[in-house]
């Protein structure tokens, strides 16, 4: 057991050393604005990069489908040997002689007399559009995540500053109550109350430091390819940001909603899939053109005769009976098309509902910011006046403590309100495409 524990500890130590080895060397602390954070996250987030890869794969599928519409050219070289029968001919009647050399180019084209290949090309185009829409959805979701973490860290920094101020104010109140007790102006119970308040603020300070560190680590994972906590953010949490009128947002959402665009592309792809399945009912024409040598000697001329020549074949394949397999595939494609229509209708309804809900959330948060800031200013003034009244013997220790708590709550509410507005605005922007 002891050896197992030592091995596990050694493995953990080696893992930590590997992580630290990847940590960038100390240098100037980067100051990162929101747009830079969004750009950094685009190059690292696995889910979004997976969507990018899927989009590129869909593009290659379309390239291959387009190539299938065009003739292909190949150059074939072959040597056939057949056991002779003493007459100069081979014993196998399928071969033209004992030795046969084939060296010729082949132009090949297969055409479905329905719309099979063309429908498949259009289907891959719709699939590529669907992959691009899903990539956009993944990008916008990533941006909301980054906005949430970015402003969450800024709010945690503000809250730590607020708690630090509250801790200093609690210690100031504790010193004040002790001085007044020594002068016989207040009872010892005021000192006890001040001590309890200072202890509580010390615990709050440690909790705020923990919350700040957690938020920093969360954002660091999104922004840096190697482990790095040494960064700063450009603080624009409380900078004014206007909210566009709802009709303007509605117009943008109608043009740039990625969810609806993805549903439309899925419906188009399902429709072309039906055409591809139905195309299997139609005949298939295969054309081949050969030019080169097919002779007993590998030469352009033999005994004065020209070996170079051409041949062409045309094959018409007519499907007659397949035990209902083709019709079953058509039925499957039609079911998928119907499901895509249902999903498109649902996406359109959800888009309108989300637009109204997100806009209402952003509008409410935006309107509350002014009152939250006013409440913070009033709470600060209330604490100042209550402290003065306590020094003059007109207020109790409980009133001072209550004023301190109110100020901390108002500061935190103001920061939380700013984060709420930023996140609500980011959610709204996922529908309008403007970040």
CA separation for the pair 339, 284 (Å, rounded)? 30
Q: How many domains does the chain have?
A: 1
**In the structure encoding, which two tokens stand for residue 72, read together?**
């292909």
Q: Is residue 425 part of a domain?
A: yes
Residue-number span of the structural domain to which 427 is assigned: 29-70+130-264+351-432
Reported as a pLDDT band with limits 50, 70 and 90, residue 220 is: very high
Query: What pLDDT, in 10s, does the model give residues 386-411?
Result: 989 988 888 888 898 999 999 999 99
- Could you tell me the two tokens for 373? 């800031």
**Tell me, what's the pLDDT at 7?**
54
- Check pLDDT > 90 for residue 206: yes
The tokens for 428 are 């709204």
Query: Cα–Cα distance between 163 and 405 in angstroms, integer?
Result: 10
Q: Assess whether pLDDT exceeds 90 at residue 92.
A: no
pLDDT at 28: 64
Task: Check: CB of residue 413 under 8 Å from CB of residue 375.
Answer: yes
Rounded to the nearest integer, the mean pLDDT of the chain is: 87
In a domain, 213, yes or no: yes
What digits encode the pLDDT tens for the residues 74-89? 999 998 888 888 777 7
Q: Which two tokens stand for residue 113?
A: 């007399």
Mean pLDDT, residues 309-338 taken together: 92
Rounded mean pLDDT of 206-227? 92
| Position 333 in a domain | no
User: What is the structure's pLDDT at 37?
Assistant: 93
User: What is the structure's pLDDT at 18?
Assistant: 47
DSSP annotation string for 273-328: HHHHHHHTTS-EEEEEEEEEEEESSSSSEETTEE--EEEEEEEEE-----TTHHHH
285-300 residue pLDDT tens: 999 999 999 888 888 8
Q: Looking at the domain assignment, is residue 143 inside a domain?
A: yes
Residue 5 pLDDT class (50, 70, 90 cuts): very low
User: 18-60, pLDDT tens digit by residue?
Assistant: 444 444 444 567 789 999 999 999 999 999 999 999 999 999 9
CATH of the domain at 224: 1.20.1600.10
Could you tell me the pTM of the whole model? 0.79
Distance CA 280, CA 215 (A): 57
Is pLDDT of 257 > 60?
yes
DSSP string, 14-33: HHHHHHHHHSPPP-PPPEE-
Residue 253 pLDDT level (bands cut at 50, 70, 90): confident
More confident residue, 37 or 15: 37
Segment 405-431, tens digit of pLDDT: 999 999 999 999 999 999 999 999 888
Query: Does the pLDDT at position 307 exceed 80?
Result: yes
pLDDT at 13: 45
405 within domain boundaries: yes
Confidence of residue 196 (pLDDT cuts 50, 70, 90): very high
């Amino acid at each position: 057991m002891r050896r197992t524990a030592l091995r596990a500890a050694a493995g953990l130590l080696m893992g930590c050393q590997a992580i630290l080895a990847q940590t960038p060397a100390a240098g100037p602390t980067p100051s990162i604005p929101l747009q830079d954070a969004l750009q950094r996250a685009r190059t690292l987030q696995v889910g979004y990069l997976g969507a990018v890869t899927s989009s590129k794969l869909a593009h290659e599928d379309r390239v291959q489908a387009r190539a299938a519409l065009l003739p292909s050219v190949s150059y074939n070289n072959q040597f056939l040997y057949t056991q002779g029968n003493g007459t100069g001919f081979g014993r196998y009647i399928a071969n033209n002689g004992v030795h046969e050399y084939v060296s010729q180019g082949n132009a090949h084209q297969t055409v479905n007399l329905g719309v099979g290949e063309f429908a498949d090309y259009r289907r891959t185009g719709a699939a590529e559009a669907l992959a691009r829409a899903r990539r956009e959805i993944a990008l916008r979701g990533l941006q909301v995540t980054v906005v949430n973490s970015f402003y969450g860290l800024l709010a945690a920094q503000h809250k730590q500053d607020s708690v630090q101020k509250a801790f200093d104010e609690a210690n100031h109140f504790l010193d004040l109550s002790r001085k007044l007790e020594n002068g016989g102006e207040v009872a010892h119970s005021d000192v006890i109350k001040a001590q309890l308040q200072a202890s509580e603020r010390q615990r709050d300070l440690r909790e705020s430091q923990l919350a700040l560190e957690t938020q920093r680590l969360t954002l660091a994972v999104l922004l840096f390819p190697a482990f790095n906590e040494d960064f700063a953010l450009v603080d624009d949490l409380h900078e004014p940001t206007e909210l566009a009128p709802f009709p303007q947002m509605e117009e943008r959402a109608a043009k740039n909603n990625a969810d609806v665009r993805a549903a439309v592309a899925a419906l188009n792809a399902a429709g072309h899939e039906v055409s591809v399945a139905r195309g299997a009912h139609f005949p298939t024409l295969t054309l081949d053109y050969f030019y080169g040598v097919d002779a007993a000697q590998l030469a352009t001329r033999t005994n004065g005769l020209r070996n170079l020549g051409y041949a062409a074949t045309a094959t018409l394949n007519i499907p007659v009976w397949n035990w209902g397999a083709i019709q079953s595939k058509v039925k499957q494609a039609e079911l998928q098309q119907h499901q895509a229509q249902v999903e498109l209708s649902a996406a359109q309804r959800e888009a309108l509902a989300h637009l109204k809900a997100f806009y209402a959330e952003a509008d409410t948060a935006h309107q509350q910011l002014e009152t939250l800031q006013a409440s913070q200013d009033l709470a600060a003034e209330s604490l100042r006046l209550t402290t003065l009244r306590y020094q003059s013997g007109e207020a109790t220790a409980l009133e001072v403590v209550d004023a301190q708590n109110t100020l901390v709550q108002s500061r935190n509410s103001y920061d939380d309100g700013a984060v709420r507005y930023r996140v609500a605005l980011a959610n709204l922007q996922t529908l309008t495409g403007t970040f």
